[in-house]
Structure 1
């Protein structure tokens, strides 16, 4: 039995995995969708980048989980990738779902074309938070109007320090047993940093014919891919 710890991307909480969890549990696995500090049901908690990393590590340790499959979507790939290196032999695999990946000393904001300059302006104008995206932001990603409505209604502003503070790697990502799931409607090829990691013998690539939020647009297909990573 594996233990899946599921972490959704920016502005989202544990609720984002509601359509994926039943299939994983039905297959006999432990499933622990996690809300990071400052988001969803944990709004109001102060959070920086290392807070989010510690949220994930603490969940694994508190529940005494082993054979852990850490799953990080979008922004969450950054703290998940760091946490994967900190849980030692508890880790079975880390799965990046159309996500960013951490680089030592580099913040998530660095992935923006302008290096995060515009993001910092936005944070300053919104009390230090990244505001909820409008419905139009989700167009072209294989989502129905109902699914977009769920995302927008459930999203909460994202604590800005988690986006601008640097990652701190204690283990090289290329050494981790990892899978990268590319959602091809968001781009047919992975980013350069992900492509460089995929040459590692420890990494493999999978694809979904959908957009950037597969837990909403293709939850059954995403669950099947995750089960495939543990041999089911």
Structure 2
């Protein structure tokens, strides 16, 4: 049995995994969805990127989890990738769900050549937070109108410091046992940094024919992929 720690991307809380958690538990695994500091029910808590790394590490240690599969969606691939090297032999595997990956000394916005200015402007205009997306920005992502409404209604501004603070890594990510899930409706190919990581024998690519929020658009299929990812780790 694996213990999944599920971390959502920007603007989302643990609720984003509500349809995935029961599927993992039905398959015999532990499943623990985590809300990062400053978002959802933890809104208002000051948080940088290293706060989010600590959130993940603290959750693993608080629950005394072993055989851990860390799962990071979107932005959260960055703190998850850092937490992975900090939980030591508790870690079994890492799954990056259509996510960014950390690079030592680089931040989330570092890789946004075209969109960095817009993100930084949004953070400045909203008092240090990145404002959530509007409903029309979820188009063509495999989501129903109801699913889009759910995301829009429950999203909260994301702490800007977590997006601009640099990652801190002591070892190459290629040393991790990892699965990268690419959601094809969002963009058909992984980013260049992920392509390089996938050259490692310890990394595997899985494609899903859905958009950037598979925990909402295809929760059962995502749970199946997560369960399969845990198999070689145990």
SS at match of 2:179: strand
Q: Is the contact between residue 70 and residue 94 of structure 1 (CA under 8 Å) also seen in structure 2?
A: yes
The alpha carbon displacement at 1:122 in A equals 1.5
Partner of 2:179: 179
Q: Which residue in 1 is equivalent to 2:4?
A: 4
* Partner Cα separation in structure 2 for residue 231 and residue 50 of structure 1: 30
Q: CA deviation at 1:111?
A: 2.1
After TM superposition, the score normalised by the length of structure 1 is 0.98
Aligned to 1:135: 135
SS in 1 for 2:37: coil
Q: CA deviation at 1:119?
A: 1.5
Gaps of 5+ in 1: none
Which runs of structure 1 show a deviation greater than 4 angstroms over 4 or more consecutive aligned residues?
none
The 5 Å alignment of 1:1-232 reads: 1-114=1-114, 116-231=116-231
Q: Could you tell me which runs of 5 or more consecutive residues in structure 2 were left unpaired when the two chains were aligned.
A: none
Provide the C-alpha distance between the structure 2 equivalents of 1:179 and 1:165, rounded to a whole number of angstroms. Answer: 25
Deviations 1:139-173 (A, max 9, x none): 01010000000101110000000000000012211
Give the whole-Å Cα distance in 1 for the aligned partners of 2:114 and 2:142: 27
Please give the root-mean-square deviation of Cα atoms over the aligned residues, in Å: 1.1
- The SS at the match of 2:190 is coil
Aligned mates of 1:51, 1:97 — CA distance in 2: 21
CA distance in 1 between counterparts of 2:197 and 2:58 reads 27
Q: Normalising by the residue count of structure 2, what TM-score does the alignment of the two structures yield?
A: 0.97
Greater mean alpha carbon deviation, residues 107-116 or residues 8-17: 107-116
Aligned-residue offset at 1:230: 2.0
Instruction: Please state how far the C-alpha of 1:188 moved relative to its aligned partner.
Output: 1.3
- SS of the residue corresponding to residue 33 of structure 2 reads strand
